[in-house]
């Protein structure tokens, strides 16, 4: 395609994380590149002169790596990532999910929930707002841990710290933590990148399937809650098997995920007057026609029953999946057949990531 005699002006914007790589690309492929000096912690902008539409098309593809885009008019505001303005109709660049503070469950359980959810994916995370309130009789502190990077601060006695600066990072598999000392969380808005599978099909189960979809609906306010009825061959266990809904049955492709995540607990009706353990086992399976190439136990833990439909420290599970698989089975073992009908399984969340 012939080049134009006169250049066209275009503006492009991208994630500041990739500033050096993007500038190197632009200077290599365009003769005139101007930095727009965007006043924003996470965004960058440039004006370029383009003589060849082919170069522009190539740039458009390249910008996907830098979380960027091209437009013909200059952008004068960055309200979507402005720390002084919360536009909750838009996500921080690179994020597609949001979690906010739940005042009814308190500081400890809010920390457990948000860390579990972000760490299930360990991709991009952005802390848009964080409120930390003093507790106890001494000055407190907080720490936002973004992989190897740590943001720390003090919380004066009797005070609440309201942080509206955006802290954003691509975790690249590293851990996210919120830590407080002599202080507690009183609010947050945190966004993150998810790649999750929630559309599994139940191939086999011994359990009542009423509200079964609730365990995959991305909604902490509903749950799947069947009674364990001992429908397995032992007379004291139950199970369900989840398969992928793609391709011909028994020839489904392997799942491209490496973690199984669940929020789970067991409630007893106090028929013995004491709590007891329910053994939970998870197996991943790679089945091709009539052959089982892998049948791997990836989880085998006891869960102490509770007196209500509540979570505990052992309820938030993320299981590493190391073998290829196209289905998985979750089994629940009661101590013996005498416990059948006295235990309710609760699953608030279940997804692959």
Q: What is the pLDDT of residues 177-192, one digit of tens each?
A: 999 999 999 999 999 9
pLDDT at residue 76 in the model: 55
Q: What is the pLDDT of residues 181-232, one digit of tens each?
A: 999 999 999 999 999 999 999 989 999 999 999 999 988 889 999 999 999 9
**N-term to C-term CA, the chain:** 44
Instruction: Report whether pLDDT(15) > 90.
Output: no
> Which H or E run includes 129?
strand 124-134
Whole-angstrom distance, CA of residue 233 vs CA of residue 209: 19
pLDDT at residue 292 in the model: 73
Closest to 81 (Cα-Cα) out of 95, 100, 101: 95
Whole-angstrom distance, CA of residue 349 vs CA of residue 352: 10
Whole-angstrom distance, CA of residue 220 vs CA of residue 315: 13
Q: What is the pLDDT of residues 218-276, one digit of tens each?
A: 888 899 999 999 999 999 999 999 998 766 777 788 899 999 999 999 999 999 999 99
Structural domains of the chain in order of their starting residue, each with its CATH number: 8-76 (3.30.70), 97-192 (2.60.40), 201-352 (2.60.120.260)
Closest to 160 (Cα-Cα) out of 180, 190, 189: 180
Residue 82's pLDDT band, with cuts at 50, 70 and 90, is: very low
Whole-angstrom distance, CA of residue 287 vs CA of residue 255: 12
247-285 in b/e form (b: 16+ CB < 10 A) is: eeeeebebbeeebbbbbbbbbbeeeeeeeeebebbbbbb
Instruction: Report whether pLDDT(79) > 70.
Output: no
Using alpha carbons only, what angle is made at residue 324 by residues 322 and 330, rounded to the nearest 5 degrees? 75
Structure tokens that stand for 246 in this block: 């793609």
């Amino acid at each position: 395609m012939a080049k134009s005699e006169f250049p066209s002006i275009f503006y492009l914007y991208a994630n500041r994380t990739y500033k050096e790589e993007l500038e190197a690309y632009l200077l290599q492929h365009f003769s005139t590149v101007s930095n727009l000096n965007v006043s924003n912690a996470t965004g960058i902008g440039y004006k370029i002169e383009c003589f060849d539409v082919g170069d522009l098309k190539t740039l458009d593809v390249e910008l996907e790596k830098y979380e960027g885009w091209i437009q013909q008019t200059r952008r004068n505001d960055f309200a979507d990532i402005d720390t002084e303005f919360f536009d909750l109709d838009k996500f921080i660049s690179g994020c597609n999910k949001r979690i906010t503070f739940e005042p009814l469950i308190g500081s400890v359980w809010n920390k457990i929930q948000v860390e579990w959810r972000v760490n299930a994916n360990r991709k991009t995370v952005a802390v848009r707002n964080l409120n930390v309130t003093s507790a106890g009789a001494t000055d407190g502190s907080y720490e936002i841990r973004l992989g190897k990077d740590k943001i720390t601060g003090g919380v004066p006695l009797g005070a609440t710290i309201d942080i509206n600066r955006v802290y954003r990072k691509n975790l690249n598999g590293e851990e996210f933590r919120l830590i407080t000392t002599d202080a507690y969380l009183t609010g947050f808005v945190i966004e993150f990148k998810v790649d999750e599978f929630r559309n599994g099909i139940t191939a086999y189960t011994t359990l009542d399937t009423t509200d079964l979809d609730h365990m995959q609906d991305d909604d902490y306010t509903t749950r799947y809650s069947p009674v364990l009825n001992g429908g397995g061959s032992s007379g004291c266990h139950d199970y369900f098997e989840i398969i992928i809904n793609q391709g011909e049955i028994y020839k489904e492709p392997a799942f491209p995920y490496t973690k199984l995540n669940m929020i789970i607990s067991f409630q007893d009706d106090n028929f013995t007057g004491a709590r007891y353990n329910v053994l939970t086992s998870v197996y991943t399976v790679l089945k091709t026609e009539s052959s089982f190439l892998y049948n791997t136990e990836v989880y085998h833990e006891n869960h102490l029953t509770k007196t209500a439909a509540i979570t505990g420290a052992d309820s938030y599970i993320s299981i590493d999946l190391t073998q290829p698989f196209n289905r998985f089975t979750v089994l629940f073992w009661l101590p013996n057949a005498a416990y059948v009908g006295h235990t309710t399984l609760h699953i608030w969340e279940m997804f692959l990531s």
